[in-house]
Each structure stands twice: as structure tokens, then as C-alpha cells.
Structure 1
């Protein structure tokens, strides 16, 4: 018997049981999760290497006209609040999780490539972001040269793209703008880092959905 919620939607157990019974969804769920786990475990090595390099200090008119302030708590609250919302939605809709995980894989690969090819020194006045959760992926060390393109902005854009409810997307869009502005206020990134991220993430999202045919999973049963 199918267990449903009060709103008539499948329960968490039913949603994931159904997804795991579908070969197309099951393979993408398991393989994607495995790749992300391997990738995250190796990221501290990459970022520690990046942090030791010398880079180029950019002249940024926008940052030069914004006094630096520590807004770590606000950034942390917005990012992890939206992450919690996405997790809650994915509990009842595994396709959201699949879209997120597979796009995240290629976003991380793209960021590692651009960060490696475009070595930059941190902006003048940078105030280190205090984020105990994200710092785990950096090996609990201070990393300031993971600049182009912005990972925090990328995360917010990816969340926006994966969410499906209109009200969720409205919150997601507001969160994107807020985080982009706050990153500049804290001088964590150059302007080009945060401005380029939405465009690059959107292109990656479209490419991943097309290549892996993720748009076919929503109504797929096998």
C-alpha cells in the first residue's frame, strides 16, 4: 500500500523506494552520491595547493567603493537555510537530489579548472568567512584563493535551479542576490567572481540535464 502524506503526496519512504526501484533513477542516485563523496574527500588537497600559490591582485572598482564588514553570520544563515529547504524538498522528490548532485559534480570540476588556470590573490580588505560547515570541505584551514568563480554564489544559483515550487524559487532568487551582495561587502570575492557564477552555473545546469537526460527522470518509472 502506498503511504501518503496529509497533502496527498507520497511519504519520504515511498518516494525513495519508488526512485530506487527505477533503474534510471537508482543508478544516478548511487553513482552521483559516490562521485560527490570522492570529490569532497579530495578537495582539501586541491585547495591547500591553491592556497600556497601566488596570484594576481585585481583592481576592483566596486570593492574599492564598498567598506568591508564581517557579515559571516548572515551569509551562513542564508546559505544553510536554503540548503535545508532544498534537503526538505528532496526528501519528497528524489529528482531534485539527482539534479543537484550531478550538476554539483560538474560545477566543482569547472571551478577547480578555472581556479587552477586563473590564479588570483585575495581582494584587498578580505574578511575571512566564518562558516564551520563549509570549512570542513577545505580541510578546516583558511582558504582565500578559491576565487574565480564564486562557490557560494554557485551554490545559491544551483539551489534556485533545482527547486520547483514558485514560492521556493522566489526565496531562492532573493537569496542569490543577497549572498552576491554580502560576499562583496565582506570582500571575499572580486566582483567578476560573483557576477560570472550565475551564468556559468546555468550553462552547466543545462548541459548536464541534456547530456544525462535528467529532464526525462521526473515522470520516469524505469
Structure 2
């Protein structure tokens, strides 16, 4: 019985993708998203190396000062890429989510280019580098510490929360959003404002991404 259900599920999933792919507008928007992402790829290291060389301001973050600086790179890495893989499995099951995810990632990263440029900050005291060999590939030659306002780690988790349709999935993404916000502050890689402003700014990005998708 379980094998039959699995086969039926595979058939329905394949049919869902075939029907989605037959829509010309879907293919056009998918192609556009892929082109934009390919164009952004070489921009990431250039931008992050540029902001790392500039001088910013460091402010006295009362809340952050109360939190001891601890290396929690492994939980951050596991949440970051574990939720990314989990969201991809949901996207595979629901093709309509693909465009929203791609445009969400695009708008989110472009918005961070803008906010990081407008709010030049020096890293918090006690910062510990996050071990993440995957993300580091986008940073360039040197580790980046000044990509602060707003927190990309927190924002990405909240984007998953907004995208995922099932209540149980949303609950999981909400929990990982809160955990990520706490962890990046424990690591002292972000100020409080970087974390607090991430969800509302991500929501604005999500609204724009949905219109684009």
C-alpha cells in the first residue's frame, strides 16, 4: 500500500511540474531569475571586499554587551543549510514556490547591498568568525565582518517562514528565525538592530518578490 501511494505521489508530482513548465510565463520568469542570479554571483565578492575596506561606526549596544561572546558556528551552519535543504524539498513538491524563492533571494540580497551601503558599521567587539565554507565562497579573498545591517542569516530564515505554506513548516522556520537571531548575537557577528530589523525588511522584500514572481 505504501509503495502504491509513493508511486501515485511521484506521478502527481511529475504531472504538477509538467503543467507548470508548460506555462510560457513561468519559463520566462524562471529564465530571468537565473540570469539575474548569474549576474549577481561575481558582484558578491566585489561588494563585500569593498565594504570590508571602508571605515564605519561602532556603537555601544547595551544588550549585546550583556551577552558573552561564544563560538556557535556549527549550530549556525546547521540551521542555515539544513533549512535551505528543507525548503528546497518543499519547493520540489510545490513548483509554484520556485519563483517566489528565487526572486525572494534576489530581492533580499540586493536590498542588503543597499542597506549595508547606507549604514556603514564596524563589527561589534568580541566578534568571532563564523565557520561556513559554503557562504565564504561568496565573500572573496578575506573574511567579511562589516556586512552588518541587516542580518542576512536571520533574514533568510524569516524568508523561509514567509514562503513555506504549511503551518508546521512555518512554525519550524519561525523557531529557526528566533534561534538564528540569538545565535548571531551570541557569536557577536551582529548588533541588536541588525537582527531586530531583519524580519520587517525581509517582509517588504517578500512582498516585492511575490509581485515579480
TM range (shorter): over 0.9
The yes-or-no answer on 1:167 pairing with 2:168 is yes
Matches of 1:7 and 1:187, distance apart in 2: 49
Instruction: Give the C-alpha shift of residue 8 in structure 1.
Output: 3.7
Residue deviations 1:30-72 (CA, integer Å, cap 9, x gap) = 2112211211221101100110001101110111000000000
Matches of 2:86 and 2:21, distance apart in 1: 22
Aligned to 2:64: 63
**Structure 1 length as normaliser, TM-score?**
0.88
Aligned to 2:157: 156
Contact kept? 1:103, 1:204, Cα under 8 Å:
yes
Aligned to 2:43: 42
Matches of 2:165 and 2:11, distance apart in 1: 16
**Secondary structure of the residue that 1:149 maps to in structure 2?**
coil
Gaps of 5+ in 2: none
Contact kept? 1:10, 1:92, Cα under 8 Å:
no
Matches of 2:8 and 2:181, distance apart in 1: 35
Matches of 2:61 and 2:36, distance apart in 1: 36
Aligned to 1:185: 186
Residue deviations 1:71-121 (CA, integer Å, cap 9, x gap) = 000011011111001111111222212101112211111110111111100
Aligned to 2:207: 206
Gaps of 5+ in 1: 215-222
Matches of 2:74 and 2:102, distance apart in 1: 26
Matches of 1:195 and 1:139, distance apart in 2: 27
Contact kept? 1:19, 1:94, Cα under 8 Å:
yes
Aligned to 2:198: 197
Matches of 1:124 and 1:14, distance apart in 2: 54
Contact kept? 2:107, 2:208, Cα under 8 Å:
no
Matches of 1:22 and 1:207, distance apart in 2: 22
Aligned to 2:91: 90
The RMSD of aligned alpha carbons is: 1.7
Instruction: Give the C-alpha shift of residue 15 in structure 1.
Output: 3.4
Residue deviations 1:115-162 (CA, integer Å, cap 9, x gap) = 111110000000010101111111253000000011111110111111
Aligned to 1:18: 19
Aligned to 1:134: 135
Instruction: Mark the CA change 1:26 to 1:62 in structure 2 (over 3 Å): closer, same or farther.
Output: same
Bigger fraction of residues in helix: 2
Matches of 1:143 and 1:71, distance apart in 2: 17
**Secondary structure of the residue that 2:42 maps to in structure 1?**
helix
**Secondary structure of the residue that 2:177 maps to in structure 1?**
helix
Matches of 1:207 and 1:10, distance apart in 2: 33
